[in-house]
Structure 1
Amino acid sequence: MENVVELKNVTKKFKDFSVKNIDLQVKQGFVTGFIGGNGAGKSTSIKMMMNLLRPDEGEIKVFGLDYMTHEKEIKERIGFVYDGNVFFEGLNLKDIRRIVSPAYKQWDDTLFYQYIEKFELPVNKSIKTFSKGMQMKASLAIALSHHAELIIMDEPTAGLDPIFRRELLDLLQELMIDGNRSIFFSTHITTDLDRIADFIALIQGGELIFSKSIHEVSDNYALVKGGTDLLDRDTEKAFVHIHRASTGFEALTDNIQAVKNTFGDTVLMERASLEDIMYYLKGGIHHDKFNQT
């Protein structure tokens, strides 16, 4: 399985925040979801993938190439979809096509107009008249019109209504059918990724917590519920994080078999969603009714 992006021991330090020792691979032909709360380091990592920020330490390769010697070649093969409009608001799509198309050797006018028609976008109206969803569609149409092999999306569904979000996810699934395109999808709306992601990478506080296939996540993580009388220093070792309440405990495990061996049928186990995993690994307080251990 080939990697289209590789980050090896990548670190970027700021005055009050750092992204530290990131080892991350984006597999060719798959959707990789990049999750984490606001300020976790997602956008910083993406900017380094795009060579908009240079890492202080570590190595980044895209399509097996480095930016020092192959920047133009790499960026020809990437399509970037932002959260919001990045074009001058007075321009219309015809203006944008005229400005952007010469930058790409593989630009395909026929494809561009096919996507404009598919997305029902007006070509003569200025971008400032577009809704947020239309702006996102415009960015995606441009990204796809130069036959980009890697689509990088930074919070593309933030602020979109649920119906449009679902339409976008269906479209992304269509784009993946031929197996030649890869998508790197950064979001804090984890329910989107439950539907389309093949791999999940979780970043918190500038550190990569894990990078696993969606099947590994599903197989390894679970929510466990039971009576607090079952908990002691030894049995608690089966959990990543525990919340206690007067009615019992709820905990996250990353070792389902260990829970089965320890507790048998005395606890209830449920599938942990990506949101559950992100929340519990951060160790927050749950609706004020739990006391953090």
Structure 2
Amino acid sequence: MNERVDGRRGEFAIEIRSLTKRFSRFALEDVTLNVKQGYITGLVGANGAGKSTLIKAMLGMSVPLAGEVRLFGEPLAGKEDALKERIGYVADDSHFYEHLSIGAMKSVYAPFYRKWDERLFRRYLERFELSPKATIRSLSKGMKMKLALAFALSHQAELLIMDEPTAGLDPVFRRELLDILAELMLDERQTILFSTHITTDLDRIADYIAFLHQGKLAFHESKEEVFDRYAIVRGDLSLLDADVRRLFVGIRESSVGFEALTSNRMEAERLLAEYARIERASLEDIMYLTAKGVPAHG
């Protein structure tokens, strides 16, 4: 994890306390999450895990059944306008007026922000090769994402919230976007919450990982702690007695053996190092095998 020396380290850009939101077929249940200032936190989970629902609650776009959201130490309720001026939001779907030109959209957008920086906006347009005269509907998905980023960064936002920003983008632009985010983090006051189900994006840039699974927070740890604690175990089916099964968060069995996820790498190595292959788990492994679960046996 990148250790940044900053007088504001240890403070939280986002504090979520016991947040609950229920729908007819899905619920976020008792989610508590603190996002540290000055770092990139990756919010991961399968599609439908509740990532967008949680982000909407953070931004006051959805009212929870229970719980509290605080931004920069202030309760969101009653202070939304002031707090949102300090936030840049980038979503997978474009929320701009498609029939407008970029310049016309800027004239609508900029007056909402007292710290709007026109020179910075023009610099981002130039960097991203976006013409102010281009209509938004004429832009590709990748160019719309660049435009959303230009808008989000041009009012000096301290917190950048990105909801599935790389979904549907080609690998070249995904890499470029991650490079831009890495540059932003050179400013130690900047904080990024990056929601995605494409976990390889976070392998490169995230400091912390928060994993949502079926509406609950499975863990929130530094990336290094996650990779130290979790491991993939591969071995013969004959190893899978009841005690060994208890080691695992998820198991995939086949005719040639098993592949399993443990959240206690040290214990797995103690018991199985002589009999099975134990390897570092990727974030994708953790998501996939957590979803598989441990089937009832015997």
TM-score by length of 2: 0.93
User: What residue identity is the alignment partner of 1:171?
Assistant: I
Once residues 220 and 129 of structure 1 are traced to their aligned partners in structure 2, the CA distance between those partners, rounded to angstroms, is: 47
Aligned residue for 2:143?
A: 134
Please name the residue that 1:288 is paired with: none
Q: 2:21–2:65: 8 Å Cα contact kept in structure 1?
A: yes
User: Which one-letter code corresponds to 1:261 in the other structure?
Assistant: R
Q: Is the 8 A contact 1:243 1:292 kept in 2?
A: no
Distance 1:130 1:195 in 2: 28
Residue 200 (structure 1) aligned with residue 209 (structure 2): yes
Task: Work out whether 1:109 is the aligned partner of 2:118.
Answer: yes
How far has the Cα of 1:73 moved from its partner?
A: 1.2
Q: Distance in 2 between matches of 1:284 and 1:256?
A: 17
In the alignment, which residue of structure 2 is the partner of 1:11? 20
Counting only pairs closer than 5 Å after superposition, residues 261-280 of structure 1 correspond to structure 2 as 261-280=270-289
- Residues 176-255 of structure 1 correspond to what in structure 2 (within 5 A)? 176-255=185-264
Cα deviation, residue 27, structure 1: 0.9
Q: Which amino acid aligns with 1:139?
A: A
2:287 is the counterpart of 1:283: no
| Correspondences of 1:63-142 after superposition (within 5 Å) | 63-142=72-151
Structure 1: tracts of 5 or more residues without a match:
286-290
Tell me whether 1:162 sits opposite 2:171 in the alignment.
yes
Offset of residue 252 of structure 1 = 0.5
Q: TM-score, normalised by structure 1?
A: 0.95
Give, in angstroms, the shift of residue 7 of structure 1. 0.6
SS at match of 2:106: helix
Q: Which amino acid aligns with 1:151?
A: L
**Is the CA contact 1:284–1:292 (under 8 Å) kept in the aligned structure 2?**
no
CA distance in 1, matches of 2:232, 2:194: 25
Q: Distance in 1 between matches of 2:79 and 2:296?
A: 49
- After TM superposition, give the deviation of residue 260 of structure 1 in Å: 1.4
Deviation (angstroms), 1:17: 1.7
- Aligned partner of 1:45 among 54, 58, 62: 54
Offset of residue 69 of structure 1: 2.7
After TM superposition, give the deviation of residue 132 of structure 1 in Å: 0.3
User: Residue 100 of structure 1: CA displacement?
Assistant: 1.2
Q: Secondary structure at the match of 1:280?
A: helix
How many pairs does the alignment contain?
288
**Contact conserved, 1:239 with 1:251, CA < 8 A, in 2?**
yes
- Tell me, in whole angstroms, the C-alpha distance in 2 between the residues paired with 1:231 and 1:68: 51
Aligned residues of 1:79 and 1:150 also touching (Cα < 8 A): yes
Alpha-carbon shift at residue 206 of structure 1 (Å): 1.2
Structure 1 residue 284 displacement after superposition:
6.6
Corresponding residue of 2:31: 22
Q: Percent identity?
A: 50
Q: Distance in 1 between matches of 2:293 and 2:276?
A: 22
